[in-house]
Structure 1
Amino acid sequence: MNPSVAVVILNWNGQKLLEQFLPSVVQTDYDNLKIIVADNASTDDSVAFIKKQYPQLGIIVNDQNYGFAEGYNKALQQVNADYFVLLNSDVEVPSNWISPVIKLMESDSKVAVAQPKIKLYANKNSFEHAGAAGGFIDSFGYTFCRGRLFDALEEDNGQYDSDIEVFWASGAAFFIKASIWKEVGGLDADLFAHMEEIDLCWRLKNLGYKVLCCTKTEVYHVGGGTLNVGSPFKTYLNFRNNLIIMQKNLPFWEAFYKVLSRLWIDLAAWFQFAFKGQWKFVFAISKAHCHFFKYFFKTAAKRKKPQVKLSQHSGVYNSSIVWSYFIKNKKKFSEINRL
């Protein structure tokens, strides 16, 4: 029998998304599967809808909205399986989306995490922002994807159809061995949402585990189901969490100068938003920096050995993606220097 797999969909006031996308999930072709909806104290009729329309599914109801990170931590404490799949509620899946990923992960005991290709629901020929064909990071902690640099999405013409080791896997369809999830304690609840999966992958890579992208299968993500791209709160989380995960996971002196460099780069973004009169984003960056310094010592206490130089990991662009994209006008992953 295949390893047991639990697909867990975290929901918060997402009844309409569940109505739209659950039908594809329940048609998944895998012989040792359980599907669970973990509800983050929704105030809509999500739970009643699941109980009525999908009584065969498991339901976990959290007592409050814990966000993405702690919501999953709370839910997965109650789930038993060999593999956990964290699946966003706004993802459509083909019937055979699980087996190729599990087969790839079973081939190597050091593989902890994997993702399928993440493509755009509205245009299934295009990669999607949150994951594409695997996540990468540059020397200054900026994240991007094979198939997506900043907001430039590529068409999928098979150019990235290789199952390679990447730096991070997307939380939109995140496969992880349950034993390894428990080994490292899951996601960092203080991150709340955004970049928590990158932090988890970074911690695992520091421990010697691998993160892969399986390109033999794909899923289709709407994106922005909870927080859209234009949300100041999303901007706040991204700026704040990026600094936090760098402080947590880099060796001390590398963390010192790279976090300092990022603060200056963030300041440039602050002035750009101010010049455009986009004050809600100016405030979001300021708030992110204030939070980072307020909780600096709390984050420092989370630093764990070993901490490996970023350049020694797979999936790292040992240069500046900001420089390559905005100054050198490199808009495709294939156009940047070899990784």
Structure 2
Amino acid sequence: MGLSILIVNYNTEQFIVNFLHDLTKQTIGASCLEVIIVNNSNNNTMQSLIEQNNLNLNLNIQVILSENIGFGRAMNVAASVASQPHLLIANPDLVLADHHYLQELLIQAESHPQYGAITTQLLDEKQQDLSEFYDYEFHETFGFKNQICWFSGALLLIRSEVYQHIGGFDPDFFMYCEDEDICLRLKQHGLPLIKVNHLQISHIGGASEPNLCHNYFSRWYRSQILFAYKHMSADAFNVLLRKLQRKARYKCMTYQLLKPFGIARYKFKLTQWQAMAEILKKTQQESTDWLKYTPK
């Protein structure tokens, strides 16, 4: 019944400290719980905050220093040193109010020994549940129509042996869409995605990337196109690229004409579609291998 909680930090230290405080109030036994934080910020701030708050006295916490290698790769690092049979992929900005949450989550895991991934209600600030999705990027279902296709990677429970068997998160994704990818691979292996609706956890969202700027959209669209490249047929992928190129040209032209009106929403949309146009242009001019994340 043991649980390893895996967290990636990138300038989200205070969110993590708050979450760790929540963990100290959980009814699950301390001997059954470990926390592994991969610190992509590559500094000692995280460890210092843990020591200042005496959190390491109540929790088994391990901090691993790292360069910013992205979300999926960092989770793979954490999973490689995890010692418990169940892995909880957790975003730093989760708020855990139910003191029985982790204990009940593990009971559900033991009740479904062949599960692929488990999640619960994941509530945003408007109390909307944003945990489950019924299609993948560009409205593809890959044969899983009218089913849950993927769970948000903000909270994802996976058995350690399953995680290792499927190779963990695909390291080609730097950030975004890696949760869709791993859930699709779980389903392709015949492992079910299970939603526990009577459990709730809050997710603030956007902690590591609060500014929706050009660089954000570039990372997001690059991951979307990479996901399509990996999972679509070559013909379907090329049709998609042509469709997106036409749409991006039209959107950029439209919002460029509207930009002089000074409406913030138009400027935001122009930034968004310019990022998409740049990704598509580079994909057309170069091998699609450039989409894959390569560590510096």
Q: TM-score range by the shorter chain?
A: 0.7 to 0.9
In structure 2, the residue matched to 1:9 is: 7
RMSD of aligned Cα (Å): 2.8
Higher mean Cα deviation, 54-63 or 87-96?
54-63
Residue 118, structure 1, aligned to residue 122, structure 2: yes
- Give the count of matched residue pairs: 272
Q: Is the 8 A contact 1:60 1:75 kept in 2?
A: no
Higher mean Cα deviation, 252-261 or 240-249?
252-261
In structure 2, the residue matched to 1:245 is: 227
Structure in which a larger fraction of residues adopt helix? 2
Residue 21, structure 1, aligned to residue 3, structure 2: no
Q: Secondary structure of 1:214's match?
A: strand
Residues 299 and 10 of structure 1: CA distance in aligned 2, closer, same or farther (over 3 Å): closer
Q: Is the 8 A contact 2:122 2:203 kept in 1?
A: yes
In structure 2, the residue matched to 1:127 is: 128
Work out which of the residue numbers 33, 53, 73 in structure 1 matches 2:76: 73
Summarize the alignment of residues 168-317 of structure 1 with structure 2, pairs less than 5 Å apart.
168-228=150-210, 230-277=212-259, 278=267, 279-293=270-284, 294-297=286-289
What are the Cα deviations for residues 157-181 of structure 1, in whole angstroms up to 9, with x where unaligned? Answer: xxxxxxx961111111111111111
Query: How far did 1:139 drift?
Result: 8.1
Residues 57 and 263 of structure 1: CA distance in aligned 2, closer, same or farther (over 3 Å): farther
Q: Is the 8 A contact 2:117 2:157 kept in 1?
A: yes
Q: Which amino acid aligns with 1:117?
A: Q
Residues 173 and 222 of structure 1: CA distance in aligned 2, closer, same or farther (over 3 Å): same
Q: Distance in 2 between matches of 1:265 and 1:110?
A: 43
Q: What is the identity percentage for the equivalent residue pairs of Structure 1 and Structure 2? A: 16
Q: Distance in 1 between matches of 2:104 and 2:248?
A: 40
Query: How far did 1:87 drift?
Result: 0.9
Higher mean Cα deviation, 231-240 or 134-143?
134-143
Residues 241 and 52 of structure 1: CA distance in aligned 2, closer, same or farther (over 3 Å): same
TM-score (norm 2): 0.80
What are the Cα deviations for residues 298-333 of structure 1, in whole angstroms up to 9, with x where unaligned? Answer: 779xxxxxxxxxxxxxxxxxxxxxxxxxxxxxxxxx
Query: How far did 1:213 drift?
Result: 1.9
Q: Distance in 2 between matches of 1:12 and 1:213?
A: 28
Q: Distance in 2 between matches of 1:63 and 1:228?
A: 21
Q: Is the 8 A contact 1:15 1:44 kept in 2?
A: no
Query: How far did 1:217 drift?
Result: 0.6
Q: Which amino acid aligns with 1:114?
A: I
Segments of 5+ residues of structure 1 without an aligned counterpart are 144-163, 301-339
Residue 60, structure 1, aligned to residue 58, structure 2: no
Residue 90, structure 1, aligned to residue 93, structure 2: yes
Residue 166, structure 1, aligned to residue 125, structure 2: no
Q: Which amino acid aligns with 2:46?
A: S
Q: Is the 8 A contact 1:127 1:133 kept in 2?
A: no
Q: Is the 8 A contact 1:191 1:241 kept in 2?
A: yes
TM-score (norm 1): 0.70
Residues 63 and 96 of structure 1: CA distance in aligned 2, closer, same or farther (over 3 Å): same
Higher mean Cα deviation, 79-88 or 249-258?
249-258
Residue 38, structure 1, aligned to residue 38, structure 2: yes
Query: How far did 1:289 drift?
Result: 2.1
Q: Distance in 2 between matches of 1:73 and 1:137?
A: 25
Q: Distance in 2 between matches of 1:139 and 1:51?
A: 42
Q: Is the 8 A contact 2:223 2:291 kept in 1?
A: no
